[in-house]
Structure 1
């Protein structure tokens, strides 16, 4: 049986843990995974200022070749035990498509797999990392005008990411497409956004892209569900969209998180 985790972070994550690559791999083996992808946060595009306090949302470009070399060595070390893929989680940041394409053209040949995610939103010239903290989300609600307006902006940006021309190495798997719901127990929307979600799914299906079926939401205290939740997964599968389980682990203990509560 093939058992895959397609979304795992590493010690190269500036806001993750110092757990070694080997700890992640051994934990995956203990859960009987047959294939994993390391998808570290790619460097943010030149000219974009990270809004997080420590500016640690992505790894530094100078670390990339070491990252890929480390995974290359791991592939050899665990050959015959588990398939290890080299990947990145690439941020889609509006108006930085040119820079992102240049980055992908440079490093894309080193990728076995990759994810395209939205974390940063812009509103009237102000950027925020949507999922950074409840406090940041609350501040966004205040100047966007409502929870629904934040959600609307998020889903618009996810749709833009799917439609964006980022070159031949553009990631074909869309990361945690309902990440706006991370703090839903604190800030519930009044709108289910079914139309927006269906529009995203139709666009994903039309391009034969995949969805990251992300278990991390189950361990977030104000979320309590996968990204996306089961009803969206069922709709995606009715459109023949491939869903790929991702733990989104930022420490080795996070491998397999949420999976038992998901329809894999």
Structure 2
């Protein structure tokens, strides 16, 4: 049974809901959970231009300290009967490793937990938020030449995130490793893709990294599967990757997203 949610967003997310931190905690307690990690989108590097139309992919630097303070207060408030970890979901953006390392060196000491995720992929002369919309994914397909080429680019970027020197406070959990499949019903993989994950899992095992078993995709109409999907469970077990469930909730009502479906990842764990 899943009793911990390792990937929860907050009202500090500019593309999420205004639900209070307390509402997330109370909803989790009602679900029978024993704890959660608040993992808000970390501010993007100052010199990186967010390519989504509203430029709302992440929390702003101006709100970071307030976020850390508010989660710390909540952690203290609930410490006797519910575990709260202060975390961030940090974007790996190819070419911005130095700025990301500097940021983590500064904020890392104040964190209990963190996730390293890929949303942006670098094309020839620009970056695209691959999972923003079907249209943005289509842009990637047109520029790279095929759906398979987008998968390859995404997985290569995830592998680069694992290899990247992001300092002592580099996150030790890899987020939604198959996010590239968010629009898979519109852009189906007509090629075998599971083997493409083997180099990623091999490096994760070598570095003792954990895997975000993310239920958010189950409720996405063009995905309807977790990131990674349950069909990957045997491969994850083969590489002995430690799994942590994450709802990736951007509203309190989204807690436990996909939790029933991803149970195979947690049996006999």
Bucket of the pairwise TM-score, normalised by the shorter protein = over 0.9
Aligned mates of 1:212, 1:241 — CA distance in 2: 10
Aligned mates of 2:113, 2:80 — CA distance in 1: 20
- Please tell me whether residue 160 in structure 1 is matched to residue 177 in structure 2: no
**Secondary structure of the residue that 2:228 maps to in structure 1?**
coil
Worse-superposed segment, 54-63 or 111-120: 54-63
Aligned mates of 1:170, 1:233 — CA distance in 2: 25
Aligned mates of 2:152, 2:110 — CA distance in 1: 35
Aligned mates of 2:114, 2:180 — CA distance in 1: 21
Listed as ranges, the matches of 1:216-227 within 5 Å are 216-227=216-227
Corresponding residue for residue 123 of structure 1: 123
- Checking the alignment, whether the CA contact within 8 Å between 1:10 and 1:21 is kept in structure 2 is yes
Listed as ranges, the matches of 1:198-217 within 5 Å are 198-217=198-217
CA shift at 1:237, angstroms? 2.1
Corresponding residue for residue 3 of structure 1: 3
- Checking the alignment, whether the CA contact within 8 Å between 1:115 and 1:175 is kept in structure 2 is yes
Listed as ranges, the matches of 1:50-65 within 5 Å are 50-65=50-65
CA shift at 1:163, angstroms? 0.8
CA shift at 1:250, angstroms? 0.3
Q: TM-score, normalised by structure 2?
A: 0.96
- Checking the alignment, whether the CA contact within 8 Å between 2:5 and 2:36 is kept in structure 1 is yes
Corresponding residue for residue 178 of structure 1: 178
Q: Deviations over 1:20-48 (max 9, x none)?
A: 00110011001111110000000001211
Corresponding pairs, count: 264
- Checking the alignment, whether the CA contact within 8 Å between 1:173 and 1:209 is kept in structure 2 is yes
Corresponding residue for residue 196 of structure 2: 196
CA shift at 1:140, angstroms? 1.6
Corresponding residue for residue 257 of structure 1: 257
- Structure 2 gaps, min length 5: none
Corresponding residue for residue 75 of structure 1: 75
- Structure 1 gaps, min length 5: none
Aligned mates of 1:212, 1:8 — CA distance in 2: 12
